[in-house]
Structure 1
Amino acid sequence: MNITVVGSTNIDLVYTVPHIVKAGETLHSTEHELFFGGKGANQAVTASQLGANVEFIGNVGADDFGEQVKQNLQEKGVKTEAVQKIGLTGQAIIQVADSGENSIVLFPGANFLVTREQISAAKDKIEASDVLLLQLEIPIPVVEAAAEIAAQKGVHIILNPAPAQQISDSLLGKISILTPNETELEMLTGLKTNNEEDLIQACSLLIQKGVGAVVVTLGEKGSYYMNSNEHGYVQANKVEVKDTTGAGDAFNGALAVGLRQGKSLRESILYASKVAGFVVTQMGAQPPIPHSFRVNK
């Protein structure tokens, strides 16, 4: 399984709080921890821990954090030949409430300095992939450039459209699997997602635009998926939630691995849900994943 991830890296500064802070409110944090994060890095680390050969294309800062981030990727088995050092390392300031829910402020830093030229220089890595994983914490033109290279070679493309923003029909038409949450689905389609009828209408619109399949993540409710042949809910396992940071990224990384194992879309979603369900029981977005989840490289 050769998976290439084009995306972001961050240092996550995590503060445990009784509840998410409100406007004008000051809260004492009961605990503070530093973790490695970034949607792209989270997906890459997950896929690598599950047994995939993973290439990462992106930036870290030319600072101490940047060296730590790159070293962490390497220690987790992710190849970093296409990682450049420039500017300041991206940061995420994360509040984690006692309920397990989180609130995140992003400083993009080096992530917004990834260029189309950088993608062109790593063209061979994308073309040699079975799956290309993308997110939206780097500039959209860079995402589009990576998708164009992959599409021309028939590489399977999974796009997690987060943070929520508009995406061109041209990009959507190249996507094999789109994995929005409910908020992102509403942003992309302009349609409500209050019930299954709404979800069917919204997913159908995206498939009409050329998306191969849509998998809508619904948090503790599981997910809803649709392709040209089937649609339906996939329930999430009940777990004791400690930290939801990185759950969606783990889901996407595991989804890519499941598909490359030859699992069906529904089976891959079940596998991804299981992996994400474990991640939310741990602190941080890149916890060690037990060997029982892993497949052979």
Structure 2
Amino acid sequence: MKIAVVGSTNMDLVYRVPHIVKSGETLHSTEHQLFFGGKGANQAVTAGQLGADVHFIGNVGEDNFGEQIKENMQSKGVNVQAIQQIGSTGQAIIQLANSGENAIVLFPGANFLVTPKQINEHKKKIETSKVLLLQLEIPVQVVELAANIAAKKDISIILNPAPAQTIGDTLLSKVSVLTPNETELEVLTGIKAATEGELVQACTILLKKGVKAVVVTLGDKGAFYMSDNGHGYVTVNKVEVKDTTGAGDAFNGALAVAQCYEMSLKESIEYASKVSEYVVTQMGAQPEIPKSFQMNRQ
């Protein structure tokens, strides 16, 4: 059940707005809150709360936000020994509309100061893991190095290709499960996948590059998955949405836990979807997750 997460940490500054601001528009926010965030930290905290032995490699700032982030992650089951404090803590400025939609501006801060040297110093945490969980809010060369270390030990690699950007074929060839949303899938393949046929076409491109499985998250429509063993949909239940900010990250963290248990791809997606469904009913990207979501498999 050991998961290594190499990724980002942020402090989220959330502003409640009637709708997402348009170009040239000024809106009054009706509410302002601070939440812990960062895709890497969100995923790590989800996995930690689901009972995994999670080790996080990344940076926070030399500031109060940095100290608060480390304390929070540790309290939610994440080993923080490999977190370095340098520069300013990353921040996410989030507009949260009454509809539940969000728009996010990122200040990377210390996240862009994660170095290959730091990864090499903590490579044992990767080499002794069952799953390596990666995203793209830190320098891509660091992501590539972590993937290389894991691939040499035949460790399962889950890559959440967010924020959307192109990825080299060398990195893709090492990925066990790639988890783009629809926007990220289009950036990776050039295909705007609105139909099942287009989803198959886009995923086929990625499988041919060496990705072993693709899971496309589709929001309230669930997820589409494809591997050499076939493809299909996993639907989700309708819930009262309060905040979608951490939905995808909760999905990835839970998916990593399911993969530790060697569940099938479809079973893993079903479990991850249930966790994600719960998270969107709560505020913030790192809400408390009830212990009832932990798996009791031996």
Q: Alpha-carbon deviation of 1:266?
A: 0.2
Q: Find the counterpart in structure 2 of residue 269 from structure 1.
A: 269
Q: Once structures 1 and 2 are overlaid, which stretch shifts more, 21-30 or 168-177? A: 21-30
Separation in 1 of the partners of 2:158 and 2:211? 10
Provide Cα deviations, 1:100-121, integer angstroms capped at 9, x if missing partner: 0100000000000000010000
Q: Is 1:175 paired with 2:175?
A: yes
Aligned letter for 1:48? G
Q: Name 1:14's counterpart in structure 2.
A: 14
Equivalent residue, structure 2, for 1:218: 218
Distance in 1 between the 2:217 and 2:283 partners? Answer: 20
> Match for 1:146: what amino acid?
A
Listed as ranges, the matches of 1:126-145 within 5 Å are: 126-145=126-145
CA shift, 1:291, in A, is: 1.2
TM-score by length of 2: 0.98
Deviation at 1:236, TM superposition (A): 1.3
Counterpart mapping for 1:40-189 below 5 A: 40-189=40-189
Residues 227-249 of structure 1 show CA distances to partners (whole Å, capped at 9, x for unaligned) of 00110111111111110001000
Task: Give, in whole Å, the separation in 1 of the partners of 2:259 and 2:44.
Answer: 15
Q: Distance in 1 between matches of 2:146 and 2:113?
A: 15
The gaps in structure 2 that reach 5 residues or longer are none
Give 4+ residue runs of structure 1 displaced > 2 Å after superposition: none
Residue 192 of structure 1 deviates from its aligned partner by 2.1
Q: Is the 8 A contact 2:131 2:259 kept in 1?
A: no
Q: What is the rounded CA distance, in whole Å, between the counterparts of 1:237 and 1:131 in structure 2?
A: 28
Amino acid at match of 1:252: N
How far is the alpha carbon of 1:191 from its aligned partner?
Answer: 1.5
The SS at the match of 2:138 is: coil
- With 19-28 and 1-10 compared, the bigger mean Cα shift is at 19-28
Secondary structure, in 3 states, of the residue corresponding to 2:233? strand
State the alpha-carbon separation in 1 of the partners of residues 260 and 73 from structure 2: 22
| Identity %, equivalent residues | 72
Q: CA offsets per residue over residues 3-27 of structure 1, 9 Å max, x none?
A: 0000000000001111111111111
Whole-angstrom distance in 2 between the partners of 1:160 and 1:196: 21
Q: Secondary structure at the match of 1:104?
A: strand
3-state SS, counterpart of residue 58 of structure 2 = strand
Q: Quote the residue 1:252 is aligned against.
A: 252
Question: Which stretch shifts more, 30-39 or 253-262?
Answer: 253-262
The aligned counterpart of 2:280 is: 280
Deviation sequence 1:163-198 (CA, Å, 0-9, x none): 000100000000000000011001001122010000
For 1:201, the aligned partner's letter is Q
For 2:271 and 2:141, the matched residues in 1 are separated by 31
Alpha-carbon displacement from aligned partner over 1:236-269 (angstroms, at most 9, x marks no partner): 1111111000100000000011121232110110
The answer for the alignment partner of 2:292 in structure 1 is 292
Match of 1:237 in 2: 237
In 2, distance between residues paired with 1:162 and 1:262? 25
Task: In structure 1, give the amino acid aligned to 2:118.
Answer: Q
Alpha-carbon distance in 1 for matches of 2:268, 2:41:
21
Normalising by structure 1, what TM-score? 0.99
Q: Measure how far apart 1:295 and its partner are.
A: 2.8
Q: Which runs of 5+ in 1 are unaligned?
A: none
Q: CA RMSD in A?
A: 0.9
CA deviations over 1:68-113 (Å, ceiling 9, x no partner):
1111111111001110000000000001101001000000000000
Name the counterpart of 1:2.
2
State the distance in 1 between where 2:49 and 2:98 align.
Answer: 28
Provide the aligned length of Structure 1 versus Structure 2.
297
Structure 1 Cα separation of the partners of residues 231 and 245 of structure 2: 27
Any idea what SS the aligned residue of 2:120 has? helix
